[in-house]
Chains A and B, each alone.
Chain A
Amino acid sequence: MAALVRTVSRLTRRNMGWTRGVASLADLPETHNMLRKTCRDFADNELKPIAGDLDKEHRFPTEQIKMMGELGLMAIDVPDSQGGTGLDYLAYAVALEEISRGCASSGCIMSVNNSLFLGPVKNWSTELQRETFMHQDFLNGRKVGCFALSEPGNGSDAGAASTVARLEGNHWVLNGTKAWITNSYEASATVVFATTDKGLKHKGISAFLVPMPSEGLMLGKKEDKLGIRATSTAYLIFEDCKIPRENLLGQPGMGFKIAMETLDAGRIGIAAQGLGIAQAALELAVDYAMKREAFGSPIAKLQSVQNKLADMHLSVESARLLTWKAAAYKDGGKNYIKEAAMAKLAASEAATFCAHQCIQVLGGMGYVTDMPAERYYRDARITEIYEGTSEVQRLVIAGRLLKEHADLTSW
């Protein structure tokens, strides 16, 4: 009996913060509403009109990224004292959703810079490293960074990094190939993960900061992708690439931990990107359904169409609440790994679902490039793959769930 009471009180204590928080997730704080408006206006005015062209021309939106930098969007959670915007992850999630609603590629670029590059740099770099790698230019949109973990031989299997780094006097020498690196062609720096001690398996991976361009670092050809075409994705090929000894990020062997923690946060970003794409698809479908007439009235009056719209709206709203919760947990210093994985899984599946149904509602019009529906469909697909495939997210969620259950019954 005493044990039961202990458990119940432990559960209540664990959930109390959540209960307090969930009411406030129904409505955003005023600051977040204001920045949501700024981002929405920016996306509607600057990104939406050109998103189609950016996609057709596979063109990096340099000017727009600079403008986003000036708005404070490229370094949202970097502290004010270090030159960033000093806001929280909820603000990041809200801002990223609005930007992605205008242009998914721009959202991707923003997400990689914020979560995948500035994330590890902010959390593990030394003062000296920050002078170069957290220079003002990386915060104001003039320069972007990238994140090199995946390899041709391992994506989900991140612990098997075959890129190696050996210490030679005052330099680290990197050899190996990294695959699928977003922002590769435009980046001025990268965080790279390489094995420094093969015997220690994933505990032998270390993280390094490499300026770009660097001697010994070559870019592979730009991948011709299905979607998010305004971003560049290519191989990073390291051939005896020498970097100063001081460019080791954190301690040797910390690489895997840095990568995993970075990706946990990055998942909230990708969830927000998925929400943006899903919301854009939903709005397009609703707008079209109210205008397109068939059988004598707008198709929005047909039950089949209404069912789709309802399911789409439900999927976006559910994913949004999960995303905001994960962000609120992170901002509150709580363990958010499971929530972030749930958010990313829900939002990416909402994005592909909504984009798919959007094309269906638009019918033939959804299949042609005159309407953005086909671009949403192509852009949405990657959200289920990068920063942890949906399958990996399920492993993470189940892993945390089982752990929580094991903790619970261990009384």
Chain B
Amino acid sequence: MWPIFDYGRFVSIISSSDVYGVVWMRSLAQLHKMANLRVLVGVKRVIDYAVKIRVKPDNSGVVTDGVKHSMNPFCEIAMEEAVRLKEKKLAKEIIAVSCGPAQAQETIRTALAMGADRGIHVEVTGKSIDGDNNQTGQMTAALLDWPQATFASEVTKENDHLKVVREIDGGLETVKVTLPAVITADLRLNEPRYATLPNIMKAKKKKIAKHKAADFGVDLTPTLEVVGVEDPPVRQAGQKVESTEELVAKLKDSGVV
């Protein structure tokens, strides 16, 4: 049972299901556990990344009506990684989940066409876009009390755990996480494949389970109120300087140096 909350940008989650009690064949059990990995991938329907975002005239949010929507590109990357894990026989089942309006089913079907085995749609009415909050993966890990590896640019299996290379401000960081774990995808993790036409056809036969938030006993009353949404301030033009000396002088004048 997953608690339901708003999805941000980073949405790849890896979970394990069956725990094998027979520990005496330790290495085999570990291998078996690995191969029985189920991967839950969150996919979100957001405003297409190529579209220019416009703020509503009343500053209550951004314009979504009539605007082109598609699967968040980072969700595509997460899906691709899950499919690769399955192809390497490291995962047994991929489940795509989306919390959103009825149209979220199109997004789930795209995930099915990419290789997910089944889908879960939790119907949540009301508007929702990607807030780029960078919270969902981290919140999920905290709520489940699972280890997390965010901004993943490489995921490899090492014995009974995963080695994840993370992209951080200073460069790259490598972490080891035991399973089950939460992993969030970064741009350089992989290049998502095209959904082939045969797979698009196969996706039609795959099941999408429909639920409401109430089914899980989750209260959707918002605890946050969006007071206003504004365009970022227009960037001021810079100044061109002729020499290093002039640059230093100007920096000194403005009190920066």
Report the minimal beta-carbon distance from A69 to chain B, rounded to whole angstroms.
Answer: 10
Cβ contact within 8 Å between A41 and B204:
no
- Give the residue name and chain of the A residue nearest to B110 (CB): A34
- Per-residue CB proximity of B187-198 to A under 8 Å, as 1/0? 000000011111
Cβ contact within 8 Å between A72 and B194:
no
List B160-207 residues whose CB lies under 8 Å from chain A. 194-198, 200-201, 203-204
Report B-chain residues with C-beta under 8 Å of the C-beta of A86: 198, 201
Count of A-B contacts judged by CB separation below 8 Å = 45
Report the minimal beta-carbon distance from B143 to chain A, rounded to whole angstroms.
Answer: 33
Q: How large is the interface on A (under 10, 10 to 19, 20 to 34, 35 or more residues)?
A: 20 to 34
- Give the residue name and chain of the B residue nearest to A75 (CB): B197
A91 to B200, CA, bound (A): 11
Is residue A76 contacting chain B, with contact meaning CB distance below 8 A? yes
A41 to B201, CA, bound (A): 18
Cβ contact within 8 Å between B106 and A30:
yes
Is residue B122 contacting chain A, with contact meaning CB distance below 8 A? no
Cβ contact within 8 Å between B201 and A38:
no
Report A-chain residues with C-beta under 8 Å of the C-beta of B194: 38, 41-42, 71
A42 to B106, CA, bound (A): 20
Q: How large is the interface on B (under 10, 10 to 19, 20 to 34, 35 or more residues)?
A: 10 to 19
Is residue A391 contacting chain B, with contact meaning CB distance below 8 A? no
Query: Which of B106, B109, B196, B204 is close to A38, meaning CB atoms less than 8 Å apart?
Result: B196
A57 to B201, CA, bound (A): 37
Report A-chain residues with C-beta under 8 Å of the C-beta of B196: 38, 70-72
Report B-chain residues with C-beta under 8 Å of the C-beta of A37: 70, 110, 195
Query: Which of A30, A33, A85 is close to B197, meaning CB atoms less than 8 Å apart?
Result: A85
Is residue B113 contacting chain A, with contact meaning CB distance below 8 A? yes
B interface secondary structure, majority: helix
Cβ contact within 8 Å between A71 and B201:
no
Report B-chain residues with C-beta under 8 Å of the C-beta of A91: 197
Is residue A293 contacting chain B, with contact meaning CB distance below 8 A? no
Is residue A212 contacting chain B, with contact meaning CB distance below 8 A? no
Query: Which of B106, B109, B197 is close to A71, meaning CB atoms less than 8 Å apart?
Result: B197
Report the minimal beta-carbon distance from A34 to chain B, rounded to whole angstroms.
Answer: 5
Is residue A218 contacting chain B, with contact meaning CB distance below 8 A? no
A115 to B110, CA, bound (A): 28
Is residue A237 contacting chain B, with contact meaning CB distance below 8 A? no
Is residue A285 contacting chain B, with contact meaning CB distance below 8 A? no
Query: Which of A42, A70, A80, A95 is close to B201, meaning CB atoms less than 8 Å apart?
Result: A80
- Give the residue name and chain of the B residue nearest to A87 (CB): B197
Report B-chain residues with C-beta under 8 Å of the C-beta of A71: 194, 196-197
- Give the residue name and chain of the A residue nearest to B112 (CB): A34
Report the minimal beta-carbon distance from B73 to chain A, rounded to whole angstroms.
Answer: 11
A96 to B200, CA, bound (A): 17
A35 to B201, CA, bound (A): 9
Query: Which of B70, B106, B200 is close to A35, meaning CB atoms less than 8 Å apart?
Result: B200
Is residue A73 contacting chain B, with contact meaning CB distance below 8 A? yes
Given contacts A30-B106, A34-B110, contact A87 B201 (CB under 8 A): yes
- Per-residue CB proximity of B105-116 to A under 8 Å, as 1/0? 010011001000
Is residue A31 contacting chain B, with contact meaning CB distance below 8 A? yes
Report B-chain residues with C-beta under 8 Å of the C-beta of A85: 197-198, 201
Report B-chain residues with C-beta under 8 Å of the C-beta of A31: 200-201, 204
Cβ contact within 8 Å between B197 and A35:
yes
Report the minimal beta-carbon distance from A305 to chain B, rounded to whole angstroms.
Answer: 22
List 9 additional contacts besides A35-B197, A38-B194, A70-B196; criterion CB under 8 Å: A30-B109, A31-B201, A31-B204, A33-B106, A34-B113, A34-B195, A35-B200, A71-B197, A95-B197
A-contacting residues of B (Cβ < 8 Å)?
Answer: 70, 106, 109-110, 113, 194-198, 200-201, 203-204
Jot down 8 A-B pairs with beta carbons below 8 A, ordered by A: A33-B106, A34-B200, A37-B70, A38-B196, A70-B196, A76-B197, A86-B201, A87-B197
